[in-house]
Amino acid sequence: MKLVIIESSAKKQKLTKLLSDLYGAGVYKVLASLGHIRDLPAKELGVDVQNGFQPKYTIVKGKSKTIKLLSKQVSKADELYLASDPDREGESIAWHLIQVTRPQIPTFRVTFNEITQSAVKKAFDNPRQLNMDLVAAQEARRILDRLVGYKVSPALWRGLDASGLSAGRVQSVALGLVVERQSAIDTFVQREYWSIIGTFAVPTGQFDAKLVMWSGKPWTTETYCSHQDAHIAISSLSDLVFKIQKLEHKQRRRKAPIPFITSTLQQAASSHLRISPDKTMSIAQTLYVQGLITYMRSDSPAVSVEAADAAETFIRDTYGDLYLPEVRRQFKAKVGAQEAHECIRPTNVTLDELSSDHDDYSSRLYQLIWQRFIASQMADAHYDQTTIVVAGSKAVFMARNATLEFDGFLKIYLYGDDLKEEHQARPTDEDQDIVFPVLAENQICRAEAFEPKQHFTRPPATYSEASLVKALETLGIGRPSTYSLMVSTIRQRKYVVLKNRRLAPTMLGEQVSRFLDQHFALVVNYDFTKMMEDALDKISMGELNTRKFLTTFWNKFYPLVEPWQHAPPNQRSEPKLIGELCPVCGKGQIEIKRSRKGRFLGCNRYPACKYSRDMQTPAPVLVGRVCPDCGSQLCVRSKRDSADKFIGCTHYPTCKHTENSQPDVAGD
C-alpha cells in the first residue's frame, strides 16, 4: 500500500478517486494532516537565540491523535508520498510530517498546481525529494516573525500602558501605510486651480478642445490658480486666429489583461465583486480543492502549454480566429517571484460558470477568474483614435476621441482597472465616442467661446483593502500567502476599521504605529522589510544561509528591544484611581484600565476581583447588604426595556441573585 498525506481533508475524496482511476483501486491510500502538526510553542519564545536560533517545535494543540493515526499508517505502508500544498509552507509541513512519523520506507514529495487527472498523474509519475531550501526559508520566516512578535509586543504593553497589544513584522508595516496615508489626508491643504475649454468652429461643425500649452509650457494645476488668472488668459485670446496645427488618425490597441496572480485576484475581487481579500482566499481555496481552479497562492502569471492550447481551441470554436492574437502571449513572473507556479486559472476552460450547487460568492469569483484567463488569451481591442491640436498665439488646445473598431478580449471581460471601486470600467479616452466634424491640417477655425472651469486639488485617497494589497506588493512586502492575512490581522486587532469599504486607522492603531516608528523604525521600515523578504527568497534558492541571515537581523534588532526587555516594572504609569470602592469585593478601588479595545473601569485587585464596567456606565447604587449567594454587594438594578427597579447582585451575570422587593431608590 502506498500512503499519501495531504493537508486538507476536503481534497481526500477527489484525490482518492483520481488516483484510483489512474493506478487502480486500493493502490494509494489518502490521509490528511489537517494543516500544521508542529509549530513554535504558543506561550513562549521557542527560539534558542544563543544556540544558533534553534527552534523548539511542539505538537499543535489537538493534533496528537492525528499524528498517532498517521504514524500507524506510515508503519504499514510500502511507500510514503507527501502531497501538502505546493509552496514553502506546504514543503515545511511535509518536513514536519517526516520528523514526527519517522518513516522507514521510501519517501517522496509530490506537488500539483491543480487537482486534475493530468496534473496528478504528472506529479506521481515524477516524484521528487524534499526541497530543504524551501523548508529553511519557511523556518527562517517563522523564526523571524516570532522574534519580532515576542520581543516588540511587551515593549508595546509598557510603552502604551496597555496589555494585550501585539506587533507583527509585516502587519505593522501594513498598519504604517494606512496611518501614513491618513496623516497625509489630515494635513492636506486644498488648492484651487482652473482649466480652459475652447469651442472652435469650422464650416462642417464645431468641436471642443482643452488648453494643454500656455506660453510654450504645458498646462498644469499651477498655471491658473484663480478665476482672475483664467479670465485674463481668456481675454488675451480674443480676436486671435486659430488653425488646426495637427490632425492625426491612428490605430490604438488596448492590451488584453494579464492572468490573475494572488495579489491581482484579491484586488479585482475587492473592487469588482466587493469581496474582502481574506474571504477571496477562502473561496479560492474551496474552488482549488474542488478541482475547479489552479493553486490560489501564486506570484507568477505563467500559463502552461496545455492550458494555452485548450484556451486557444475554446476561443476559436466559440468566437472565431479573429479573436485569437497573432502570436500566443508569454507571461513571465516579476523578478523575485517566490514559486514556479502557474497563474490562477480555471482547470476546464469550457466551464464558464458553476452549477447552482455553488453559492453566489463562489460562482461570481469563479466567473471572474474564468473571464480573466480567457481574456488574457484573446486578441487586443482595437480603437480608431483621432487627435486634434489647435494653436493660436501662445495657446495650444487639444481634443481626442476613440472609436472602438474591434472588441477583442472586451467580448467577455468588461472590467477596468482592478483598483476601481465600480463593478464595470469607468469611461476612459478609449470609451469616449465623440464625433468630430470633417477637418484638415492648417485649416483656419474660429474661436466661438472659451469657458473657464474651476477645480480643486484632492487629497490622496484612503486605502481600500485592494489598494493596500497593491501597495504592499509594489513595495515588495509580504508574499502571496501573507497579503490577505496582513489586512485581516490589523482589522481584527482593531488597529484599523473598514468604513464605506475604505480603511481608516483607529486611535489605538495610530498610537501603536507612532510608537513603532519612534522606537522600532527598523522593523517598520519599508526598505528593510523588503530586504528581509528578498533574503528569504535567497534562502529558498540556496543562496543564503539561514543562521547567517538571522544573526545579521538579530544584531540590528536586539539593541532596539534590549532597553525594554530590562525596564523595571514600575516604568508603567501609576494607577488612576477614581475614588470609588469596588461594589463587588468591597475591598479594592476602582481604577481606569486599558485594553486593546480602549479604556474601561475595573477593580485594582484583579485578578482576585474581576469586576469591570464601561467608562460611560455609572456606579451601581448599593443597598448596604451583601448577596446571600456569593457575598458580593447588592445594588439597585433596572429591568430590561423597563423603568422598573429591583434589587440584584453586583456580580451579575456570574451571580444572578435577585429580590422581588421594590427598592426605595431615593432612600438608598
Active-site residue identified among 193, 295, 323, 383: 295
334 Ramachandran zone, left/alpha/beta (phi>0; psi -120 to 50): beta
Report d(CA 479, CA 205) in Å as an integer.
Answer: 56
Q: What share of the chain is helix, strand, coil (3-state, %, to 5)?
A: 40, 25, 40
Q: State the Rg of the chain over Cα.
A: 33
Q: Count CB atoms within 10 A of the CB of residue 622.
A: 16
Residues in the chain: 668
What cell numbers appear for 61 in the block? 494543540
Range list of H helices, 161-292: 171-186, 227-236, 262-272, 277-289
Which residues, 6+ apart, have CB-to-CB distance to 169 below 8 Å? Answer: 144, 145, 148, 149, 523, 529, 532
What cell numbers appear for 63 in the block? 493534533
Residue type, 58: T
What cell numbers appear for 249 in the block? 488618425
Report d(CA 39, CA 42) in Å as an integer.
Answer: 8
Residue type, 61: K
Q: What is the 3-state secondary structure (H, E, C) of 106-138?
A: CEEECCCCCCCHHHHHHHHHCCECCCHHHHHHH
Edge-first strand listing for the sheet containing 598-603: 576-581, 589-595, 598-603, 612-613
Q: What are the φ and ψ backbone dihedral angles of 313, each rounded to 5 degrees?
A: -65, -45
Largest CA distance in the chain: 102
307 Ramachandran zone, left/alpha/beta (phi>0; psi -120 to 50): alpha
Report d(CA 29, CA 236) in Å as an integer.
Answer: 86
Nearest by Cα to 604 from 596, 595, 612, 616: 612
Is-catalytic flag, 295?
yes
Which residues, 6+ apart, have CB-to-CB distance to 508 below 8 Å? Answer: 162, 165, 494, 495, 596, 598
494 Ramachandran zone, left/alpha/beta (phi>0; psi -120 to 50): left
Is the torsion defined by CA of 410, 412, 416, 419 positive or negative? negative
Report d(CA 425, CA 411) in Å as an integer.
Answer: 14
Which residues, 6+ apart, have CB-to-CB distance to 578 below 8 Å? Answer: 590, 591, 592, 601
Report d(CA 374, CA 577) in Å as an integer.
Answer: 66
Report d(CA 185, CA 191) in Å as an integer.
Answer: 13
Residues tagged active-site: 295
